[in-house]
């Protein structure tokens, strides 16, 4: 057993900044659970939802919801090298000619949507994810944006973001992204410690990231995000504290702090990580506590679960104003709108439906060669799904819920409909995580750190599911 696991037992002397959190709570809630970027979660999608089902959802939007803006997600799966922690759908290759072929198929998929919705639908949010979107050359990114702008109307003041692998860009490339209309960047950092970077096969010096962020500021990008992961192999609270200090010095507009979920049975690259090199749960808690302390002390707003933002960032403002939303990319400032997702494995939402594209590039191409949407599974939400989604998203985004708002929107009596759930919530109230009032539910400061556990009580599917290990840990 490595020292990483043997030196991190929880003791009564362990100090956490999280108010009211006890060692018993940490142990009790060291369980797996959904992140609720959707409800029902994607593992509930069924193959009975086909491309024909998706066509019907698009038709219903065309008839009844054209005035509402769209969000668009484009999945670009290619990466030049493999990161061992990665759970994304990706294709590791150095053959850049593959991206030109993929771009052609994205064009076909866009055309299928335009045939159903018409040209000029307004989009208020665009996100390029992966994989590594910056695997595309400058010319290919230009062509992709031209395709999108020919087909849709980008709303003034919208959020147009791209995930950036710092190893694939320089100052010139960032300038090109700005020229294309991107106004938000997200840099994948994960950890600055050299030993951790070696353990996950992702070497990128801190100096490189600092230089790129400085350039992004000079180019007037509205927001720069960095992604961090705690719980990686060879991480310790001490080593991660050094990374935290560097991030505070870097001072990005937003920070996404994720807990590493080790699921090697699902994600093959993770099999290259030795479980003996992973920090134990108490060490992960210490890292989370240190991160909260560092970021809050530096003036960041704790937006919720994974996200921090500077007070003047749009995400922090949305949090203060109660306008926070949650979609497949995490917390968002944009209204709860339809999401058109393009590319292999991409997940979208149209009306009261979710859908997912083919997960392999061969199957994705095959569908489009047949002139069909590459939808292989999805879900048409039931009335109960819609009610529970509203409850879960209110808890996840606002940290509170008023019974009357649900009663009026869905014509139910909340206390009767959710009698069993409210009874179960009393146990969380006893631990100081929620306050049950006559008019609603309030998540406390303590409970906000375990908000997924609160939301899970309203997940009808999860309550009857005995296989939760496929989800990441709450802590």
For 433-463, the pLDDT digits (tens) are 899 999 999 999 888 878 889 999 999 998 7
Q: Dihedral sign for Cα 393, 464, 48, 373, please.
A: positive
How far apart are alpha carbons 197 and 210 in whole angstroms?
A: 17
444 contacts: CB under 8 Å, gap ≥ 6: 20, 432, 433, 434, 435
* Cα Rg of the chain (Å, integer): 22
CATH number where 76 lies: 3.80.30.20
Q: Dihedral sign for Cα 168, 170, 173, 175, please.
A: positive
**Pairing label, strands 121-130, 70-76:** parallel
377 contacts: CB under 8 Å, gap ≥ 6: 45, 46, 47, 49, 355, 356
317 and 397 fall within a common domain = no
Query: What's the number of CA atoms in the CB half-sphere (13 Å) around residue 443?
Result: 23
Q: Examine residue 311 and state whether it is found in any structural domain, yes or no.
A: yes
DSSP labels, 315-371: HHHHHHHT--EEETTEEESS-S-EEEEESTT-EEEETTEEEEE-SSHHHHHHHHHTT
336 and 387 fall within a common domain = no
39 contacts: CB under 8 Å, gap ≥ 6: 385, 388, 389, 392, 393, 459
Angle at which helix 206-218 crosses helix 171-180, to 10 degrees, equals 40
412 and 268 fall within a common domain = no
How far apart are alpha carbons 416 and 403 in whole angstroms?
A: 11
- Structural domain range at position 100: 42-342
Q: Examine residue 377 and state whether it is found in any structural domain, yes or no.
A: no
79 and 28 fall within a common domain = no
285 and 415 fall within a common domain = no
Q: Examine residue 473 and state whether it is found in any structural domain, yes or no.
A: no
Q: Examine residue 357 and state whether it is found in any structural domain, yes or no.
A: no
Q: Examine residue 471 and state whether it is found in any structural domain, yes or no.
A: no
- Rounded to the nearest 5°, which phi and psi values hold at 108? -65, -40
pLDDT of residue 2: 34
How far apart are alpha carbons 273 and 79 in whole angstroms?
A: 19
59 and 86 fall within a common domain = yes
pLDDT of residue 19: 56
299 and 399 fall within a common domain = no
CATH number where 405 lies: 1.10.10.920
115 membership: H or E segment, kind and range: helix 97-117
Please identify every stretch of the chain with a pLDDT value under 50, giving residue numbers as ranges. Answer: 1-17
Q: Examine residue 271 and state whether it is found in any structural domain, yes or no.
A: yes
Q: Examine residue 365 and state whether it is found in any structural domain, yes or no.
A: no
pLDDT tens column, 253-293: 999 998 888 888 888 888 899 889 999 888 888 898 889 88
Q: Diameter of the chain by CA atoms?
A: 64
pLDDT of residue 10: 34
342 contacts: CB under 8 Å, gap ≥ 6: 72, 73, 74, 75, 106, 109, 110, 357
Report how many domains make up the chain.
2
pTM, to two decimals = 0.90
281 and 427 fall within a common domain = no
104 and 238 fall within a common domain = yes
User: Quick check: 330 and 324 in contact, CB under 8 A?
Assistant: no
pLDDT of residue 423: 95
330 and 402 fall within a common domain = no
387 and 333 fall within a common domain = no
User: Quick check: 130 and 99 in contact, CB under 8 A?
Assistant: no
DSSP labels, 83-110: -TT--S--EE-S-THHHHHHHHHHHHHH
User: Quick check: 471 and 34 in contact, CB under 8 A?
Assistant: yes
Q: Of 310, 342, 374, which closes a domain? A: 342
Q: Of 311, 342, 373, which closes a domain? A: 342
Q: Of 326, 342, 358, which closes a domain? A: 342
Q: Examine residue 326 and state whether it is found in any structural domain, yes or no.
A: yes
Angle at which helix 97-117 crosses helix 51-64, to 10 degrees, equals 50
- β-sheet bridge partners, residue 32: 473
Give first-to-last CA distance, the chain, whole Å. 22
186 and 275 fall within a common domain = yes
pLDDT of residue 164: 95
């Amino acid at each position: 057993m490595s020292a990483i696991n043997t030196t991190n037992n929880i003791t009564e002397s362990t100090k956490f900044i999280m108010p009211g959190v006890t060692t018993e709570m940490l142990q009790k809630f060291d369980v797996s659970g959904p992140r609720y970027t959707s409800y029902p979660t994607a593992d509930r999608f069924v193959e009975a939802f086909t491309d024909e089902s998706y066509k019907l959802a698009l038709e219903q939007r065309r008839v009844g919801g054209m005035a509402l803006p769209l969000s668009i997600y484009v999945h670009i799966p290619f990466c030049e090298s493999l990161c061992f922690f990665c759970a994304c759908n990706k294709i590791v290759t150095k053959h850049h000619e593959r991206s030109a072929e993929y771009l052609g198929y994205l064009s076909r998929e866009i055309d299928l949507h335009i045939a159903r919705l018409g040209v000029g639908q307004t989009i208020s949010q665009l996100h390029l994810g992966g994989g590594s979107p910056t695997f595309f050359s400058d010319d290919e990114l230009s062509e992709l944006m031209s395709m999108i702008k020919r087909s849709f109307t980008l709303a003034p003041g919208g959020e147009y973001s791209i995930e950036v692998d710092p190893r694939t860009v320089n100052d010139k490339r960032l300038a090109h992204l700005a020229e294309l209309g991107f106004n938000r960047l997200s840099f994948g950092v994960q950890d600055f410690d050299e030993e951790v970077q070696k353990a996950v096969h992702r070497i990128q010096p801190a100096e490189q990231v600092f230089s790129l962020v400085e350039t992004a500021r000079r180019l007037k990008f509205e927001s720069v995000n960095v992604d961090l992961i705690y719980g990686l192999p060879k991480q310790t609270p001490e080593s991660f504290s050094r990374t935290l200090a560097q991030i505070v010095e870097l001072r990005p507009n937003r920070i996404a702090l994720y807990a590493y979920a080790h699921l090697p049975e699902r994600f093959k690259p993770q099999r290259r990580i030795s479980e003996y090199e992973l920090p134990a749960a108490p060490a992960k808690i210490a890292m989370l506590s240190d991160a909260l302390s560092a970021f809050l002390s530096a003036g960041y707003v704790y937006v919720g679960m994974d996200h921090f933002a500077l007070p003047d960032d749009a995400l922090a403002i949305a949090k203060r104003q109660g306008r926070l939303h949650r979609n497949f990319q995490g917390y968002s400032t944009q209204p709860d709108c339809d999401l058109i997702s393009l590319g292999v494995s991409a997940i979208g939402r149209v009306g009261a439906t979710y859908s997912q594209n083919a997960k392999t590039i061969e199957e994705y191409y095959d569908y489009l060669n047949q002139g069909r949407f590459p939808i292989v599974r999805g879900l048409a939400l039931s009335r109960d799904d819609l009610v529970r989604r509203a409850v879960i998203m209110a808890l996840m985004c606002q940290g509170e819920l008023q019974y009357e708002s649900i009663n009026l929107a869905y014509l139910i009596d909340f206390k009767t409909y959710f009698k069993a759930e409210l009874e179960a919530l009393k146990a969380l109230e006893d631990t100081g995580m929620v306050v049950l009032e006559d008019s609603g539910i309030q998540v406390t400061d303590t409970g906000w750190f375990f908000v997924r556990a609160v939301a899970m009580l309203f997940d009808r599917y999860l309550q009857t599911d005995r296989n939760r290990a496929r989800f990441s840990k709450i802590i």
